[in-house]
Amino acid sequence: MADFPTELQQLAKAPALSFTDDQVQLLLAHVGDLDPTIRDDTVYTLFARGLDEDAFTHLQCQAIANNLMTKRGLFTAIDQPTNDAVFQRTFSALLTAAVLDSDAQQPWLPAEDRDQFFNDALTYLIRERDQRGWVPDKGWAHGVAHGSDLLGYAWQHPQFPLSQTPAALVTLATVFSRQTAPFQFDEEPRLAMPLIQAKRVDHLTTQQLNDWLTATDQRLWRNFSFDREPAARLHNWLSFLHHLYFLLPGEATTQQLITTLSHHYYQVNGYVN
């Protein structure tokens, strides 16, 4: 932390924000900093506030988007064994989500950049294999949660192509089908939120949602055993279903379907007849 400017840390607490171009570049250089007080409390906080409060100039916004496009921090070392590069990836996911949210309020991204970010949102969760949540001394890796945030902001964007909704559903199903351990850090409601966000803006129909829930449930039960990994996947799925149930008030057919799927889980585990 010694070489990180204290004025940026102080700026995160300021009631009104403005940035020099050098400050923007410095923030971009520390998106994946391993010190959570820099990465979370200063860098991400300033980017999120700055984009939400229109504190960046148009050229600075373009510089942020160009950095995401050219540096490809979202995929840094993604195919390598578990390592600290996950922080660069997951906080690039949060930054991309914030950029898409800003663009959704008042469009400023070039169409080709926006489309690339949509594709990135559909791809990231499929490629991210690091299942860690909280990492001691380094804070939140949380690839599943941050990738879900990115997918949600992409899916609810006014320009998100509805033809890509099936791909978004495949992305979420892939997370559940390949998870090897129980979730520990509230990943399930974060995975539910992209569905909620898409549903709110009519980018996902009730029929599409129900068909996906049925198909994913069948896929997860296929070749089921009480071995650790398949049992963990069904445990994660049940928890996700219950979060979705309460996050979708008024969706009677979906809630009834979730009740049926949950009852089947309880039957298989011997909790009910």
pLDDT along the chain (273 residues), means of 10: 81 95 97 97 98 98 98 98 97 98 98 98 97 96 98 98 98 96 96 98 98 98 94 97 95 97 96 92
At 273 the pLDDT is 87
Residue 3: φ, ψ to 5°: -95, 10
First to last CA, the chain: 58
d(CA 142, CA 40): 13
In this structure, the number of other CB atoms found within 10 A of the CB of residue 246 comes to 11
Distance in angstroms (rounded) separating the CA atoms of residues 206 and 193: 15
**pTM of this prediction exceeds 0.85:** yes
Cα distances (angstroms) measured from residue 141 to each of 22, 24, 89: 27, 23, 9
Whether the Cβ atoms of residue 121 and residue 155 lie closer than 8 Å to each other: yes
**Distance between CA atoms of residues 134 and 137, nearest Å:** 9
Instruction: Please give the Cα distance from 101 to 121 (Å, whole number).
Output: 13
